[in-house]
Chains A and B, each alone.
Chain A
Amino acid sequence: MAPETYPRNTLDILEAEAVYVIREVAAQFERPVMLFSGGKDSILMSYLAKKAFWPGKIPFPLMHIDTGHNFDETLEYRDWWMKEIGAQLIVRYVEDSIRQGRVAEEEGPNPSRNAQQTVTLLDALTEFKFDCAMGGARRDEEKARAKERFFSFRNRFGHWDPKNQRPELWNLYNGMKRPGEHFRAFPISNWTELDVWQYMLREQVPLPSLYYTHEREIVRRDGVILALGPYNRLVDGEEAETAWIRFRTIGDMTCTGATESRAHTLEDIVNEIAATRVTERGGRADDRRSEAAMEDRKKQGYF
């Protein structure tokens, strides 16, 4: 009799690992929260959370930091998805932080609220006394994230110090902390963009329509295709056009770039990603501002 080898593939391994990390967070922290942006990575993460505790409920709330610059589709999907996975949702608004004078709107045309959402996030963590916030960041997204831990330590100011991170050995995650300190945890650290899409395909996870091809009014700015809308208007000299596009990431409307694509099924997307020549962050205007852009934002508490 041939010995049973119990074969596993990459997706099984990544799923088991993410589920393990999510359960560790639930077990090690008193008040964890999972952040939800409406993007595919946070959809994946919340889907894994549902699987991790089934038939139990997800034992922590999900939180959306609403920049106020969201696509309508994102918000519709968000509310539907929360019911689908049986999760409790908290929403906090960057708009409120601006109104309360906690943070100022960026100046100039088409202001981005990326920096501002960090303030709203940190305020919300304090408000609810959350001690660990799970995010859907992946290490393959950007160079600065390649060194991020699964359990990322933040000091009392919510800051990330690359020199003061705890070594992570085997699958032992140390979430012990003093009062005021907290953690970010990244259950899908080891997933690549292609893994995410292959998994979505395998599991047939329903996704917002923005990820599939659709016809939309766009503008090409600095080589990035941006959707036109109330928060993204034409600047002098720019011209609007109509194109078949889809989004590879979904964030704030002002900075999420689209790609021209005719992919209208998950299979199409998987094949497109497998053949693609540009990183998904290549379409994000905020990363292009400086080479070490991500690192700067991370130090301030951005995900």
Chain B
Amino acid sequence: MEYKTLVKERDLLRFTTAGSVDDGKSTLIGRMLFDTKQIFQDQMDQLEVTSRLRGEENVNLALLTDGLRAEREQGITIDVAYRYFSTAHRKFIIADTPGHEQYTRNMVTGASTADLAIVLIDARNGVLTQSKRHGIIASLLGIPHVVVCVNKMDLVDYSRERFEEIVADYREFAQKLSVHDIEFIPVSALKGDNVVNRSENMSWFEGAPLLQFLENVTIAADRNLVDFRFPVQHVVRPHQDFRGFAGQIVSGTIKVGEEVVALPSMQRSRIKSINFYKAELEEAAEGQSVILTLEDEIDISRGDMIVRRHNIPEVEHEFEATLCWMDERRELKTDTNYILQQTTNRSHALVDEVLYQLDVNTLHRRTESETLRLNEIGRVKVTTAKPVFFDPYERNRNTGGFILIDPDDFRTVGAGMIRYSSRSTIEELKREERAKRLKTPKSTGITWDPGLVGPQDRIRRQGHGPLCVWLTGLSGAGKSTIAKEVEKRLFDEGYQITRLDGDNVRHGLNADLGFNREDRRENIRRVGHIARLFYDFGAIVLCTFISPYREERSYVRALFPAAPGAAAEPGAAGDPNQTDPSSPDAAGPGTPPTPPTPAGTRPAGFLEVYTKASLAEAERRDPKGLYKRARAGEIHGFTGIDDPYEEPEAPEIILDTDRLSVDEAVEQLTEAIRRASAL
């Protein structure tokens, strides 16, 4: 049969299109349906009649997708409409949404289930606010792939220069987004260039036409197959011998015999069977609706979650989220007891505060607003009556997304994406702010890929938090001596700990650097980032560097999360050594306001330890004979002799080695690290 190929088994791609009527969005979809021969004869007949009645010469492809009568009269689409078409390779579900600012709600809805977003740009107008907004929403909603269609190329004479100009503009803007994959295609929806068929007018374009791209883009890798999460929907108990938990595996995979726990009870058991209808499965994966039975009789009901014993999501009453407000009648109220629905779980919830509002056109944060109105998006802090089992949305869209329901009339009024549990987010934010003010990186067009293993996972396995301990001080002050002892002690206690030594790194990584101002700066910059990698790995990293300049030390400090509560609660726990670290760049000009911080936050990720010794004492010790050589003029630019040492203004810890014994200094630092890395 000639069309046999059409009916083979295909996979499924869900994509969203955003754009206004003027961008030619409906025409683009109409063109895709038309050129793939998905428009049936009777639809075509109807279309011709309608187009003629409207006095249009050609068949108006946009009418294919303009659904409701009210919209047709107004000439705009005002809701999310779902379209279907398929090719030999794939079935496609299009969530077609209007692009106007007042329809942010609909764009968010359409984006929530999409694997890919198509953003339309009118080639004549270039990158406008609205095309940015679509990118921002795609990024917030975690859509893995974005295709930017530069439309109406026929109206700019299919100009390659114009296309490339728009691509460059959009790429620059897109650096701010967390979109991993972005593609640009020059098209003319009206004329059909590069939609389904390759354009003869743009032979300079070497990429694939839109449809071909949609057919081939890899989406299998977007699935989270790591974290097994099974929200229980329904308990199936046909008779005494069968007690099954029905649900859809929202992420991860599971096998018969694996050890699991039920949340929130934390009771353990093993998977006895995985059933679907008459089939007994050995293994099941993300997306499958199944029924699980367990070896043990444990009490589980709807809203509970079954997970792997060694991979547990966050279980919290408090978290921060990006919230989109969807209700036109009432704004967000901080004293309303909303109902929060997340997976199959419902709980009462309060939105404690709006940390800032996000301008969806520019990504600017506005902190003056205390509420959110229809179509506004902001960062909020949420407290729930029952614990919620979640993963950060970036990592798991199914356990990180929630809706808020109005307690009076039960309308869906908000959609939220949990960013992190409340503790770590603030730190993350502050780091972002600081990072922005550091040197602009030379490499562009790269995005940060957070991976599938998050900080919380490492902390859980390690049993302690990560930490960078930065020992600064004169040569001979005792930095390495103390650090080596501390490392040994904590290693023996089971800590994941390592050491970066000033001399050691100059053997390899920094062998190309000398001791002039520029090279010293580069030395510290590299070491700071290496330390950060160890930190991200979940380790405690001891760094022993003279690091004589405040500027470099500030730079390194800024790479790590600051103590969020520090400013609000000075002199934590009355420890004389635990001085208040005034963030070196907190008061700089043009500093964006930082959001208020909740109490009970984790300590800072960075401890500056001033290993203090007088020059006379250090020179007396002179363990490597360097002072002697400097005095003799064999070494130039030696700290303390002919180069300055800028004392730390506010280190977390001061170890005065003129007065303390090595043992005392080691004990003091070991204890401080234990405290700072405790959970």
Interface residues of chain A, those whose CB is within 8 Å of chain B, are 4-17, 19-20, 23-24, 26-27, 50-57, 139-140, 143-144, 146-147, 162, 165-172, 174, 176-178, 189-190, 192, 194-195, 198, 270-271, 274-279, 282, 291-292, 295
Closest Cβ–Cβ distance, residue B529 to chain A (whole Å): 30
B285 touches A6 (CB 8 A): yes
Tell which of B41, B67, B238 touches A57, judged by Cβ atoms closer than 8 Å.
Answer: B238
**A residues within 8 A CB of B86?**
10, 192, 194
Write the nearest CB–CB distance from A255 to chain B, whole angstroms: 15
Given A27-B344, A146-B67, A282 contacting B398 (CB threshold 8 A):
no
Given contacts A10-B11, A174-B403, A190-B82, contact A56 B237 (CB under 8 A): yes
Q: Are B277 and A144 in contact (CB under 8 A)?
A: no
B53 closest partner in A (C-beta) = A291
Is A144 within 8 A of B289, CB to CB?
no
Q: Of A4, A19, A165, A169, which one neighbours B415 at CB under 8 angstroms? A: A169
Contact A9 B11 (CB under 8 A): yes
Chain A to chain B contacts (Cβ below 8 Å), 10 pairs: A6-B285, A8-B288, A12-B288, A55-B238, A55-B275, A56-B238, A171-B398, A198-B7, A271-B4, A295-B69
Interface of B is mostly: mixed
Write the nearest CB–CB distance from B15 to chain A, whole angstroms: 13
Q: Is the CB of A170 within 8 A of B113?
A: yes
- Contact, CB under 8 Å: B91 / A195: yes
Given known contacts A27-B233, A139-B84, A198-B7, A144 and B68 CB-to-CB distance under 8 angstroms: yes
Q: Is the CB of B220 within 8 A of A167?
A: no
Give the residues in chain A near B127, CB-CB below 8 Å: none
- CB B92 to nearest CB in A, in angstroms, measures 10
For A9, A23, A277, which residue has the most chain B Cβ atoms within 10 angstroms? A23
Is A9 a contact partner of B7 (Cβ separation < 8 A)? Answer: no
Q: Contacts A167-B109, A277-B41 hold; do A7 and B220 have CB atoms under 8 A apart?
A: yes
Query: What B residues does A16 contact at CB under 8 A?
Result: 248, 287-289
**Do residues A177 and B344 form an inter-chain contact, with CB atoms below 8 A?**
no
Q: Smallest Cβ distance from B367 to chain A, in angstroms?
A: 26
With known contacts A9-B10, A167-B412, A282-B40, A54–B287 Cβ distance under 8 A = no
Q: Which residues of B contact A274 (CB under 8 A)?
A: 3, 6-7
A164→B41 CA distance, assembly (Å): 33
Q: Does B80 contact A (CB under 8 A)?
A: yes
User: Given the complex, which residues of B lie within 8 Å of A143, measured CB to CB?
Assistant: 67-68
Given the complex, which residues of A lie within 8 Å of B69, measured CB to CB?
292, 295
CB distance from B178 to the nearest CB of A (A): 18
* Complex CA distance for A80 and B246, rounded to whole angstroms: 28
Report how far A172 CA is from B81 CA in the complex, Å.
Answer: 18
Asked whether B12 is an interface residue with its Cβ less than 8 Å from the other chain, the reply is: yes
Residues of A near B9 (CB, < 8 A) are: 9-11, 198
Report chain B residues within 8 Å CB of A140. Answer: 83-84
Is B353's beta carbon under 8 Å from chain A? Answer: no
Q: How far is the CB of A213 from chain B (nearest CB, A)?
A: 17
Residue of B nearest to A153 (CB): B411
Q: Is the CB of A147 within 8 A of B68?
A: yes
Instruction: Find out whether the CB atom of B46 lies under 8 angstroms from the CB atom of A291.
Output: yes
The CB with the most chain B CB atoms within 10 A, among A11, A17, A27, is that of A27
Q: Report B281-317 residues with CB < 8 Å from chain A CB.
A: 285-289, 291, 302
Assembly CA distance A139 to B402 (angstroms): 25
How many whole Å from A260's CB to the nearest CB in chain B? Answer: 15
Least Cβ–Cβ distance between B262 and chain A, in angstroms: 17
- Shortest B578–chain A CB gap in Å is 44
B341 touches A172 (CB 8 A): yes
Cβ of A10: which chain B residues have Cβ within 8 Å of it?
9-12, 86, 91
Most buried by A among B84, B112, B238: B84
Distance (whole angstroms) from the CB of B64 to the closest CB of chain A: 8
Write out the residue numbers on chain A whose beta carbons fall within 8 Å of the beta carbon of B96.
146
CA distance A26 to B68 in the complex (A): 31
Q: Are A147 and B238 in contact (CB under 8 A)?
A: no
Could you tell me the distance in whole angstroms from the C-beta of B417 to the nearest C-beta in chain A? 10
Further contacts, 6 of them, CB under 8 A, given A6-B285, A15-B289? A20-B289, A23-B247, A54-B275, A169-B415, A275-B3, A279-B42
Contact with A along B214-235 (1 / 0, CB 8 A): 0000001001010000000110
B326 at the A interface (CB under 8 A):
yes
The 8 Å CB contact of A147, one of B67, B397, B403, is B67
Residues of chain B with a CB closer than 8 A to A8's CB: 11, 287-288
- Mask: chain B, 184-221; 1 = CB below 8 Å from A; 0 = not: 00000000000000000000000000000000000010
Closest to B343 in A: A172
